[in-house]
Amino acid sequence: MRGFETGPMSANASREMFGHLTDGTPVELIRLFGEQGFEARIITYGAAVYGLMVPDRHGALADVLLGEGDLAAYEANRRYFGVTVGRYANRIAGAAFTLDGRHHRLAANNGPNALHGGIAGFDRHVWQVAALGIAPVPFVTLSRLSPDGEEGYPGNLEVEVTYALTGGTELSISFTATTDRPTPVSLTNHAFFNLAGEGRGDILGHVLTIAAQHYLPVDAGSIPLGAPAPVAGTPFDFREPQRVGARIRAGHEQLRFGRGYDHTYCLAREYQAEPRFAARLEDPGSGRVLDLLTDQPGLQFYSGNFLDGTAMGKSGRLYRQSDALCLEPQAWPDTPNRPDYPSARLDVGETYRHTSIYRFSVA
């Protein structure tokens, strides 16, 4: 549905003004309502999930996502709170790759490497509301055109992301993209979760399970060293539920490189036809549980290592190290330079697809 008016839509979805960027560009807020007070708040700047209101075991609601206090802070800072990341999530070594014999130089924004789409990735743009509806479930679809050559990537890329409440307390995020030239694509959402509630302490006591037997060790610049390594016998083994903080300070070289966890877990060697279980996050205090399902081959686990007290959050509190964590389904890092990794290449006539499901419950 296109061309509808700004304002309340129904009891299940609404659309309102969030603010204006310094150049006057309007930014909108979409609210999708589920059961038991569950609510997803989406802003068109960065196609970001601005908030998620989730009930605890007693029915009390809390926003479980970190976020900037207002739009001006989103524009002034780049902390990736809840945003859509692209054209390529994670890092590409040397900010360059060769595709079909042609060398492509990218914008380097993480030392010599390209990170999360470059200097002005998808998170730094205002997306268009392409559709908003309540049937069969509350949803919003946001879109943008990433033009040929943006941040050095080839091809005009037409992108859509749909946020839908596919269950009473379940948010589904689905990405699609098409191109007019071969190009690498890996999109994800960069939500920072704290199931106790935003601004309510750290996540070191959260209990995490990740359905992966291998992860990708990295160098000091967070570029994968090579083949996946077994998690068995290392602090990276979350096949059985473990407290996030139980081994985060173990004397492991990989934890020193990332200042904690900031690594890709290898869920599969190929993209899946349907989302399947990837991770579970539990907060013993509130009883909130998050099950993450995805069709992607990788999951980046980041333990909030670089939250340094400079961000004033939505609650008016400063965010500090490990006040949240990220679970980012995506392709493996640096795949354009790694033919031994699952390919992230998108060809003309194909459609890139990525669906991840964030299913909340209580224990």
Under a CB-based contact definition with an 8 Å cutoff, are residues 83 and 47 in contact? yes
Q: What is the CATH number of domain 7-362?
A: 2.70.98.10
Q: Span 164-178, mean pLDDT?
A: 98
Q: pLDDT (tens digit, 9 = 90+) per residue, 64-90?
A: 999 999 999 999 999 999 999 999 999
Average pLDDT value for the chain: 96
**How many distinct helices (H) and strands (E) make up the chain?**
2, 30
Predicted confidence (pLDDT) per residue in 249-258, tens digit: 999 999 999 9
Q: Which residues are catalytic?
A: 190, 328
Say if CB 79 and CB 311 are below 8 A apart: yes
The 10 Å CB-count burial string (b at 16+, else e) for 162-198 is bbbbbbebbbbbbbbbbbebebbbbbbbbbbbbbbbb
d(CA 299, CA 265): 5
Domain coordinates of the chain in residue numbers?
7-362
Tens of pLDDT, residue by residue over 137-169, are: 999 999 999 999 999 999 999 999 999 999 999
Give just the sign of the alpha carbon dihedral 294, 220, 236, 212.
positive
Q: List the one residue out of 355, 353, 335 whose CA is nearest residue 345.
A: 335
What is the mean pLDDT of the segment spanning 21-32?
98
CA dihedral for 255, 260, 261, 263, sign (positive or negative): negative
Q: What is the pLDDT of residues 298-356, one digit of tens each?
A: 999 999 999 999 999 999 999 999 999 999 999 999 999 999 999 999 999 999 999 99
